[in-house]
Chains A and B, each alone.
Chain A
Amino acid sequence: MSEPRRPDPDELLARVQEEETRKTQGRLKVFFGAAPGVGKTYTMLAAARALRADGVDVAVGWVETHGRRETEALLEGLEILPRRQLSYRGTRLEEFDLDLALERRPTLVVVDELAHTNAPGSRHAKRFRDVEELLRAGIDVYTTLNVQHLESLNDVVAQITGVTVRETVPDAVLDRATEIELVDLPAEELRKRLAEGKVYVPEMAGRAAESFFREGNLIALRELALRRTAERVDAQMQRYRHEHAVRATWPTAERVLVCVGPSPYAIRLVRAARRMAARLQAEWVAVYVETPSHLHLADADREQLERTMRLADQLGAETARLTGGDDVEEILAYARRRNVTKLVVGKPAEPRWRTLLHGSFVERLVRGSGDVDVFVISGKPEDDVAREPVAGRTHSRWPAYGSAGLAVALCTLLAALLAERLALANIIMVYLLGVLVVALRAGRGPAVLSSVLSVAAFDFFFVPPRYTFAVGDTQYVLTFAVMLAVALVISNLAARVRDQAEAARAQERRTAALYAVSRACASAGETYEVVRVAGRHLAEVFEGQVAILLPHRDGRLKVAFSADAAFALDPKELSVAQWCLDHAQPAGLGTATLPGSAALYLPLLVARGAVGVVGISRGRAALDSERVHLLEAFASQIALAVERTNLAAQAQVALLLAETERTRSALLASVSHDLRTPLAAIAGAASTLLRDSGSLPPETRRELVQSINDQAGRLNRFIGNLLDMTRLEAGAINIRKDWQPVEEVIGAALGQLEGRLAGREIRTRLPDSLPLVPLDTTLVGQALVNVLENALKYTPPATPIEISARVEGTWLIVEVGDRGPGLAAGEELRVFEKFYRHASEDGQPGAGLGLAIAKAVAAAHGGRITAANRPGGGAVFSLALPLGGPPPELPAEARRDATIT
């Protein structure tokens, strides 16, 4: 069993990834001190100067010297970035200019006072967020921090010094620092500097400052700072051991679980748990159990709970919400499932009767905890003063209480009717039934009321002597007590069932909404559909204004869906959304970034980054974290669907490109054949004629010249087709429709083919009643010429060609039939493809474009062309064109003959 434990592969992978991000991210160095005045800024500037001397590109983003000369001297020769000027309620304020620093991109930026809170109107509410953005941009940062500003130690410092500091920095920021340098000064020396006026104390006035800088306080603070630094050194040591696979004692995996509730004092619990977890180097989880009574929490309590959960999140805890009827059981089950080793709970201020009735929460927890250690942390009673009284809720419940009274009255009436036949014991049953109904319908409060009223009514109306509250037999007192107890228990149980059902319904609604979105997203084929469907669901579930924004090709966001989301039109809000997209992090209302926005923005995250942003606003109220979690779940569903449709669209484009590529190569092959063949014939004939010195017989000369003439004609037709096709495809041809007699179009086409039709029998069958049809005579004429040419090419010269036209419904049908060999099976559609040629083609000229042009012309007119074999042999091509409504009227002409008879 002496085999050394090896580092877990997952752990190694995580470390490699962490190192990768370290390489691309900037390095953070924190100059850490126990109190103001220990010389952090001085030390930091000295270090920055040393780097500058080594040739590193250093810029000072923000330094506060408080007029101390020796510090100011250090600034000389360093580049100082201008500060951002902003005005807030009439005062001019200066802030660190993040954008300027990002643009300037030095290797290292010096930013003093990490815990600083930025002025309203800045991009981030806190300076440490500015610093995080610098680090992400790959810029190194030097900064300073005092121990009392550290989130997890904040309350301890307040306990020691009696001064509460408002500006805090999450521990995670310090943990992420590449290096921490402790700037240490013994308490006595610090007090000496204070006495000399060398310490600037901004946050506290006279007496407070004096008490803060008491020697005892300073010693305690120094110890805290040293310990915090030591913890970190310890962590580094552990890390070193892991990295170098040093065989050593691997700590058993500890896990701390802290149970929080809506009390403000839960914040203390969270901080305590964080300290414990940090010391144990353990993971920790903050858990809240949502019992049915959670539904009745006042808004203030809910908010307090959200604050606590957020703090836990910030301090690096995993947070979980459990639902169930019994908090103790839920917590213990969860703890066992997650292998929790230590449980942190508060010492609750429970009413004594409750403790007697149910047993104390802590006692039950301890009893069931098994081998899990339970730590009970005490809370100061004054912490609870901050709780706001539960108000407003009872107001709307008066009707419920009224119904309780009504129910008792009804029961009394019923009992009075049955009093003759019922024993007193059964009358009690009638009342208990009433209480049960009230509890199920109206909830706990009215049920309790009806319990009390029932006992009173029973006494008054039925217990002798009747119609007084006086009781004849003292044993009835016991009856009343039991009746009241039973009624109360019934109320409680029934109300709890009702609450649980309500909680389950709420949970079910959320699950159903999520399921509906994911199903709708999965079936949506196009991005805009996904966005529309998802947006509608979001607006429904969150009962607020919802906008979904997707990046345009240039990376700028555009509104893709909006449910009365006025905020999405505001350029300021758009820039917040843009920040959210670019950084793939939430922003806006209720977050640490640009919290002044009207809406909350969540990125739609997929593996390669953010594919869009969803914005949601419910007036000025921030969403509670439960809704934010739900929204995050929605966002990830939408993101996946958007990504899927994006990829599908990309695949479609690729397919189209391939198709175009195929057409292009067919075109090139055809062009080179159909252009070169007549050219070769022309060039050959012409060169023969040129070289001739009179030896060629006249018939040969004539043949050559004829060939030049014919081939030139062929070339001309081919180029004409090619141009037509290109223009039709490029949409460069304007269809100029005019009311035309079909006969004329057919006549013109036949006229164009005059020379080549010589000797062919052409039969035309055109009824006189054909109406005018709106068409582009040149294009349709060309289409007919092409169809006729096709017939001429592929049918024997002795066979006739028939042209007919007729009206069918709202269509004009023009048919060109022949008595040639007809179409081979499957050719009916392929003949209209570009560059398609009849299989048995025997040197017939033409590039297989003619019918494709005819098809394009028909389509451009909103019509179609089809090919089929005719009964009796041969093929028929029929061109269908829409009639386009009634033709225009002609002015009536007197049917008077003009010619003299």
Chain B
Amino acid sequence: MVSAEPLVLIVDDETPIRRFLRASLAGEGCRVAEAATAAEALEKVASLRPDVVVLDLGLPDRDGSEVIREVREWSQVPIVVLSVRDRENDKVAALEAGADDYLTKPFGVGELMARLRVALRHGSAAGGGAEEPVFASGDLRVDLTRRQVFVGARELRLTPIEYKLLAVLVKNAGKVLTHRQLLHQVWGPEYGDENHYVRVYVAQLRHKIEEDPARPRYLRTEPGVGYRLVSE
């Protein structure tokens, strides 16, 4: 259940960023707590139990992925990381350490709120909420219980791997998934570097679900990071 006024913990060492986030999040109806260092962040996650954490990866005292890994040992609180362009490796590391999503600086408030909403929804789902059995986004409709996929009224025929891939994406709709995460969940944990498997099947899937596979509407590429199934 998303509380009426979710508590957002902002972790960033830059005062101007914290000031801007505090103002805009308050304007969107959130309560805001702040931390400037990793140590302070860990302490506040434990004591304040926020509904979502916005974590800057460039903290002065500790590496962002490490902080995430430590939090994940005792908390499933959704974490959205902030990073700059050209640090794709950091983003992938943070996501694989357990972060829920990422945002590239500079970003707009609209983008931030969209990410936070997805994170909050998944957070509450993980906290016991039942999963929707039918996913719908635009013309795309996936019925997980009956293993059926429709675009508009047309039903699609998918191979087992295509379907499994789509199912994993549907369960994480709105969230970014790295190549490795997809590989592990679809092919199994013994796979690690065969990122091109994912790419080839994503391409196949696009040809089936997208109107123009070169300008995908549902299955979007996050360059250098992974894929995201858009939930509308």
List the interface of chain A (C-beta within 8 A of B). Answer: 709, 712, 716, 720, 723-724, 727, 738-741, 743-744, 746-748, 750-752, 762, 764, 766, 768, 772, 777-778, 781, 803, 887-888, 890-891, 893-901
Q: For residue B203, which residues in chain A have a CB less than 8 angstroms away from its CB?
A: 741, 743-744
Q: Does B19 contact A (CB under 8 A)?
A: no
Chain A residues positioned under 8 Å from B148 (CB to CB) = 899-900
Q: Is the CB of A738 within 8 A of B158?
A: no
A712-B106, A741-B200, A743-B214 given; A751·B221 CB < 8 A: yes
Q: Are A895 and B199 in contact (CB under 8 A)?
A: no
In chain B, residues 151-209, which have Cβ atoms closer than 8 Å to a Cβ of chain A? 155-164, 195-197, 199-200, 202-203, 206-207
CB distance from A553 to the nearest CB of B (A): 35
Known: A720-B86, A768-B207. 13 other contacts (CB 8 A): A723-B86, A739-B196, A741-B203, A744-B203, A747-B215, A777-B224, A887-B196, A895-B159, A897-B157, A898-B160, A900-B146, A900-B147, A901-B157
Complex: how many Å from CA A626 to CA B184? 80
Instruction: Report yes or no: A897 in contact with B158, Cβ–Cβ below 8 A.
Output: yes
Are B147 and A751 neighbours in the complex by a CB distance under 8 Å? Answer: no
Q: For chain B, residues 200 to 230, give those with C-beta under 8 angstroms from any C-beta of chain A.
A: 200, 202-203, 206-207, 212-216, 220-221, 223-224
A772 touches B199 (CB 8 A): yes
B193 vs chain A, min Cβ distance (A):
10
Expressed in whole angstroms, the Cα–Cα distance for A17 and B220 within the complex equals 83
User: Could you tell me the distance between the alpha carbons of A736 and B199 in the complex, rounded to whole angstroms?
Assistant: 16
Contacts of B156 in A (CB 8 A): 899
Q: Is the CB of B158 within 8 A of A747?
A: no
Distance in angstroms between the alpha carbons of A759 and B175 in the assembled complex:
28
A884 to chain B, nearest CB (A): 13
- Which residue among A739, A740, A777, A899 has the maximum number of chain B CB atoms within 10 Å of its CB? A899
CB-CB < 8 A to B90: which residues of A? none
Give the residues in chain B near A897, CB-CB below 8 Å.
Answer: 157-159
Complex Cα gap A768–B200 (Å) = 12
Residues of B within 8 A of A720 (CB): 85-86
| CB contact between A741 and one of B86, B108, B147, B199 (< 8 Å): that residue | B199
Of the candidates B160, B195, B206, the one whose C-beta lies within 8 Å of that of A894 is B160
A727 to B86, CA, bound (A): 11
Chain A CB within 8 A of B81 CB: no
For the residues of A in contact with B, the DSSP-based class is mixed
> 9 A–B contact pairs at CB < 8 A?
A741-B199, A744-B203, A748-B221, A750-B214, A750-B215, A897-B157, A897-B159, A898-B158, A899-B149
User: How far does the alpha carbon of A245 sit from the alpha carbon of B179 in the complex, in Å?
Assistant: 97
Using A778-B88, A899-B163 as known contacts, say yes or no to A772 and B216 having CB atoms under 8 A apart. no
Shortest A712–chain B CB gap in Å is 7
- Whether B223 pairs with A764 at a CB distance below 8 angstroms is no
Whether B220 and A898, one on each chain, are in contact in the complex, defined by CB atoms closer than 8 angstroms, is no
In the assembled complex, the Cα of A764 lies from the Cα of B149 at a distance in Å of 26
Q: Contacts of A777 on B, CB cut-off 8 Å? A: 223-224
Q: Closest residue to A778 on the B side, CB-wise?
A: B224
**3 A-B pairs closest in CB distance:** A898-B163, A898-B160, A739-B196
- A891 vs B198: C-alpha distance when bound (angstroms): 12
| Known A766-B214, A772-B199; contact A901-B155, beta-carbon cutoff 8 A | yes
Residues of A close to B213: CB separation below 8 A: 743, 747, 766
Asked whether A746 and B224 contact (CB < 8 A) given A720-B85, A741-B199, the answer is no
CA A586 to CA B203, docked complex, whole Å: 74
Whether the pair A778, B158 counts as a contact (CB closer than 8 A) is no
Please give me the residue from chain B that is nearest to A715 by CB atom.
Answer: B106
Scan B99-111; emit 1 where CB is below 8 A from any A CB, else 0: 0000000101000
Which A residues are CB-close (under 8 A) to B157?
897, 899, 901
When chains A and B are docked, how far (Å) is the Cα of A335 from the Cα of B171?
Answer: 109
> In chain A, what residue has the closest Cβ to B167?
A898
Centre residue among A712, A723, A778 by max chain B CB count within 10 A: A778
Tell me, rounded to whole Å, the shortest Cβ–Cβ distance linking A827 to chain B. Answer: 29
Q: Is the CB of B85 within 8 A of A896?
A: no
The complex places the Cα of A766 from the Cα of B207 at a distance, in Å, of 12
Shortest beta-carbon distance from A30 to chain B in Å: 76
Q: Which residue on chain A has the smallest CB distance to residue B216?
A: A747
Contact status B200-A772, CB under 8 Å: yes
Among B161, B215, B221: residue with most chain A CB under 10 A = B221
Cross-chain contact A781 with B223 (CB below 8 angstroms): yes
For the complex, what is the distance from the CA of A720 to the CA of B85, rounded to whole Å?
8
Across the interface, do B221 and A893 meet the contact criterion of CB distance under 8 Å? no
Contact: B214 with A747, CB < 8 Å?
Answer: yes
Contacting residues, chain B, for A723 (C-beta < 8 A): 86
Chain B contacts of A888 at CB under 8 A? Answer: 196
A750, B220: Cα distance in complex, Å: 11
- Checking A744, A746, A762, A899 against B158 with a beta-carbon cut-off of 8 angstroms, the contacting residue is A899
Q: Which residues of A contact B147 (CB under 8 A)?
A: 898-900
